[in-house]
Chain A
Amino acid sequence: MKPFSSLCRFLLSLGIVFSLAGCGATQIEVVGDFSVKGAKQIPIKAALVLNEELRNYSHFEYKNGQTGNSNILIPSGNIVFNPGKPGIEANIAMGEAHREVFSNVFGGVFYELDEFPDEQSIIASKRGYDLLIVPEIIKTEIYIPRFSSLPLFEARAEYKIRIKRIESGEEFNWFTVGYGASEPCSELLCREADSINAAAVQMLSDLASRILLELLENPTFIEIAT
């Protein structure tokens, strides 16, 4: 009997540890393979501006202070928060993942691509570029099944990409979205964070494919870029 009750206590302790591990705020950094192959190449030099706001972008999900159950979606990435603030349900860092996507996609498309933290750096570099590209994250949304009542984990985002022909000054804004979904956890010890990551990675892959197949086919883009 004794060894059996020790086993019970051990298993119950493990159960408590795993439960408590899920009680804290979820901190996720979106990580995935965003390499791009097979893109149509355009023989021009481009400067890609990835500003600090984009590179440090995080999506926050807040607990409703009153009920403790529902989430308030933060609609814009312009709000700056201190990590560890009480009431945060999830902090999903996507800046680096976005930087990788834009860098890989545009790097695969243009013969030459250089990255800059702002437009002033391009002028200071004194290198001649044909095209200026400035992507911006307008909005991100994350849907978690236990709050949204949707069957899947979903990630959505809206983007604006400003494209400017440096020589002529001609420019246009291209708006697009990214969408990704992943199935809920089906394994015994899988984490919600992994499903959120999978949905966000899918969203970024969707963004990459839209740039490759929709932006590059856009008549205004073709006119400016070629």
Chain B
Amino acid sequence: MKTARVSFKTILLLVAVIILNSCSTTAIDEFRQGETGISSNDKIVVLGRRADPNYVTSHQFINCIREGMESNEIPISVVDEKEFVKNMGGYFSVRHAPYSISSFRQRMDNPHFETLIKESGVRYIVWIDGTTTETDKKANMSCSITPSGGGCFGFMTWEDTSDFQTEIWDVNNNSIVGSISTDANGQSYVPALVVPLPLLAKVESNACERLAIQLNRFIHGN
């Protein structure tokens, strides 16, 4: 009977984990402004905009996008962000990067900059700007330790919201070819009965997965 009860509890827990892990929604909006297409020799680079003093577009998210695009059914060759910035002689540092297409066009008048861009082999520059924030945090948990043992009791919950704006530049035409807006949110829970059990909604990773797929389709011209 004990074994059967433990199995039933384990099943319930697994079901709860599965349900709660899928408790995040992602919405993607795409706006196309020009034709796209990419050959097998061309590359793209995905960069995080980091000019805002209140947040930085996380390197982890940018790497996630790169890995998602490279492992797609029809993969695209993506230059690593840090390698690209390093190879560009300071022109894409946080302070000096051309964050608008007009400043990029101005920079392309500089022969040194133009040479570095051509040598990089990059056809499209993808700028991603945004972050994931925690809101609506409700916590009612207390933990204690006594000589005979200890534990935590209570409950914590919060909402994660991811908001990312993506802009795609065509380096050959010095133009913006499209933009993609990604909004995702989800609810995380941490019930504690002696041991806290985090049931976290994978908001940012879901946003990354969907955006990587959308970007791939967009760059291929679909």
Contact = CB atoms under 8 A, between A and B. Distances in A.
A208 B86 CA distance: 10
Given A183-B56, A183-B58, A40 B89 contact: yes
Contact of A8 (B85, B93, B112, B195): B195
Interface string B95-119: 1100000000000000010001000
B89 A152 contact: no
Nearest to B88: A38
B94 A38 contact: no
A208 B94 CA distance: 11
Interface string B70-87: 000000000000100111
B93 A206 contact: yes
B203 to A, nearest CB: 11
B55 A151 contact: yes
A9 to B, nearest CB: 6
Contacts of B116: 38
Contacts of B4: none
B112 A9 contact: no
A161 interface: no
B54 A179 contact: no
Contacts of B50: 181
Interface residues of B, number: 29
Given A8-B194, A9-B149, A37-B87, A179 B95 contact: yes
Interface in B126-154: 131-132, 145, 149-151
A125 interface: no
A37 B149 contact: no
B121 interface: no
A40 B89 CA distance: 8
A134 interface: no
Nearest to B200: A188
B52 to A, nearest CB: 10
Contact of A209 (B55, B56, B95, B132): B95
Which of A180, A183, A206, A212 gathers most chain B CB within 10 Å?
A: A183
B91 interface: yes
Given A12-B145, A210-B95, A182 B89 contact: no
Given A8-B149, A8-B194, A36-B86, A183 B93 contact: no
Nearest to B112: A40
B90 A209 contact: yes
A151 B54 contact: yes
B90 A208 contact: yes
Contact of B87 (A9, A11, A38): A38
Contact of A212 (B89, B149, B150): B89
A39 interface: yes
A212 B81 CA distance: 19
Contact of A5 (B56, B58, B149): B149
A33 interface: yes
30 contacts: A8-B150, A8-B151, A8-B195, A35-B86, A36-B89, A36-B90, A37-B87, A38-B87, A38-B90, A38-B91, A39-B89, A39-B90, A152-B53, A152-B54, A152-B55, A152-B56, A181-B50, A181-B56, A182-B56, A183-B131, A202-B94, A205-B85, A206-B95, A208-B93, A209-B93, A209-B95, A211-B90, A212-B89, A213-B91, A213-B96
Interface of B: 50, 53-56, 58, 82, 85-91, 93-96, 112, 116, 131-132, 145, 149-151, 194-195, 198
Closest 8 CB pairs of A and B: A38-B89, A209-B90, A209-B93, A212-B90, A37-B87, A213-B90, A38-B116, A183-B56
